[in-house]
Amino acid sequence: MADAPDAAMNQPAGYVPPRVWTWDQPSGGAFANINRPVGGATHDRNLPVGDHPIQLYSMGTPNGVKVTILLEELLAAGHSGAEYDAWMIEIGKGDQFGSGFVAVNPNSKIPAMVDRSIDPPVNLFESGSMMLYLAEKFGAFLPTEVHARAATVNWLMWQMGSAPFVGGGFGHFFAYAPFKIEYAINRYAMETKRQLHVLDTQLATNEYVAGGAYTIADMAVWPWYGSIAREAYGAQEFLGVDEYKNLMRWVEQVGAREAVKRGRMVNRTFGSPETQLRERHSARDFEINREDMVEARGGERV
Ligand SMILES: N[C@@H](CCC(=O)N[C@@H](CS)C(=O)NCC(=O)O)C(=O)O
C-alpha cells in the first residue's frame, strides 16, 4: 500500500508517496543518468551498416553476450550465413536513445539486431526473441523433438523472466543503489538464491539446462548465472555460490567452449584489454583488433 502505517519507518524517514509521481529529482545510484520515465529517441543518429547479413547493435553485458555467444556458436558449427557485424552501443552514453536504434528497438535497450539477408530487413529486439529467431533460421541449438524443444523454450523464457530480479533487483540494491537498504537486499538475495537453487537442481540430473543437449537455453542462462557464480556485483561470498555444485560444474563446462570465450569478448567495455573486442566485423578481429592490440597501436583499429 502506498501510505504505509508508520511513515517514520520509511526510507527516507517520513517519506510518503505523493498521489501522483513526478520526475523532479535524480534517483541517485549508478546509471541514474540514463533513466527516464518516457520512451523514444533523444537525438538523431543513423545506425552504421556493415557488409554481413546480420547487423548487431549491442554491448557486452549479459543480455548482449547471449546473442554474441549464439552467433559465434553458429559460425563454429559452419553456418556462414551467421556472419555478423557487431557495433558498439554505449548505453552509459545514451546511444540506445539514438533515432536509428529506437527505430529497430522502441524499447531502447541492447541488444538489437537487423537481419539484412531478407528484403525488407527483419528488425529484432529482446535477446530471447533474437535467439529463437537465429536458432530457427539456422536450424541449430533448438531441438526439433517436441519435448526437447518445449524444455528449451521453457528455460529460455525462464531466463528472460528471472534475470531481471537478479540484475534490476539484487544487483541494483546490492551494488548500484546510492545506499544499502536491508529490506530490498534481503528480498532480492532470497529470490536470487532461490533461482540459483532451481538451476542447481535442474543441473543435478541434466548435463545441460534443458536436458542432454547444449541449446540456446544454455547460451541464454550462462551469461547471467555464470556471471553471478563467478564475478557479478562482488556478491559470490554473500550469496554462497559455492554451495551450488552442479551449477558450478556447468558454468565451467560451458565457459570452456571456444565460441563462448569469443562471444564474451564481443562489444565488451570492461575487464582487462585482452578480453575486449569492442567491435567485431570479421573473425580475424579476434586476432588483430583486441583492445590490448588497439591500445598498443595508439588507438588504431585495422
Ligand atoms: N529483456 C531485454 C533486456 C535488455 C536490457 O535490459 N538491456 C540493458 C543492458 S543489459 C540496457 O540496454 N540498458 C540501457 C537502458 O536501460 O537505458 C533483453 O533480454 O534483451
The CATH number covering residue 228 comes to 1.20.1050.10
Ligand 1 contact via 157 beta carbon (within 6 Å): no
Q: Would you say residue 9 lies in a domain?
A: no
- Element at 86 (helix H, strand E): strand 84-88
Ligand 1 contact via 227 beta carbon (within 6 Å): no
Query: Would you say the C-alpha torsion 266, 269, 270, 276 has a positive or negative sign?
Result: positive
C-alpha cell at 77: 558449427
Q: Would you say residue 102 lies in a domain?
A: no
Per-residue confidence (pLDDT) for residue 28, from 0 to 100? 74
Per-residue confidence (pLDDT) for residue 30, from 0 to 100? 76
Q: Would you say residue 254 lies in a domain?
A: yes
Closest residue (by CA) to atom 15 of ligand 1?
109
Q: What is the pLDDT of residues 166-196, one digit of tens each?
A: 999 999 999 999 999 999 999 999 999 999 9
How many whole angstroms separate alpha carbon 285 and alpha carbon 263?
A: 12
Instruction: Judge whether residue 33 has pLDDT over 80.
Output: no
Instruction: Judge whether residue 32 has pLDDT over 80.
Output: no
Atom index in ligand 1 nearest the CA of residue 108 equals 17
Q: What is the pLDDT of residues 77-136, one digit of tens each?
A: 999 999 999 999 999 999 999 999 999 999 999 999 999 999 999 999 999 999 999 999
Cis bond leading into 12, ω under 30°? Answer: yes
Per-residue confidence (pLDDT) for residue 24, from 0 to 100? 80
Work out the mean pLDDT of the chain and round it to a whole number.
96
Ligand 1 contact via 109 beta carbon (within 6 Å): yes
Q: 244 lies in which domain range? A: 146-262
Q: How many percent of the chain have pLDDT more than 90?
A: 93
Ligand 1 contact via 110 beta carbon (within 6 Å): yes
Mutate to test the pocket of ligand 1, among 105, 110, 222 (most ligand atoms within 8 A of CB): 110
pLDDT (average), residues 266-291: 97
Q: Would you say residue 166 lies in a domain?
A: yes
Distance 132 CA to ligand 1 centre (A): 17
- The confidence band for 249, taking pLDDT boundaries of 50, 70 and 90, is very high
Cα separations in angstroms, 57 against 34, 142, 256: 18, 24, 26
Atom index in ligand 1 nearest the CA of residue 128 equals 19
Q: Would you say residue 227 lies in a domain?
A: yes
- Element at 191 (helix H, strand E): helix 182-205
Q: Would you say residue 80 lies in a domain?
A: no
Instruction: Judge whether residue 138 has pLDDT over 60.
Output: yes
- The confidence band for 57, taking pLDDT boundaries of 50, 70 and 90, is very high
Residue 152 near residue 216 (C-beta atoms within 8 A): yes
Instruction: Judge whether residue 3 has pLDDT over 70.
Output: no
Closest residue (by CA) to atom 9 of ligand 1?
110
Lowest model confidence (mean pLDDT) among 34-43, 139-148, 275-284: 34-43
Distance 102 CA to ligand 1 centre (A): 13
- Element at 115 (helix H, strand E): strand 112-115
Distance 32 CA to ligand 1 centre (A): 14
Q: What is the pLDDT of residues 142-157, one digit of tens each?
A: 999 999 999 999 999 9
Q: Would you say residue 224 lies in a domain?
A: yes
Q: Would you say residue 250 lies in a domain?
A: yes
pLDDT (average), residues 34-53: 95
**Count: domains in the chain:** 1
Ligand 1 contact via 207 beta carbon (within 6 Å): no
Q: What is the pLDDT of residues 37-46, one digit of tens each?
A: 999 999 999 9
Residue 241 near residue 87 (C-beta atoms within 8 A): no
Ligand 1 contact via 159 beta carbon (within 6 Å): no
pLDDT (average), residues 252-262: 98
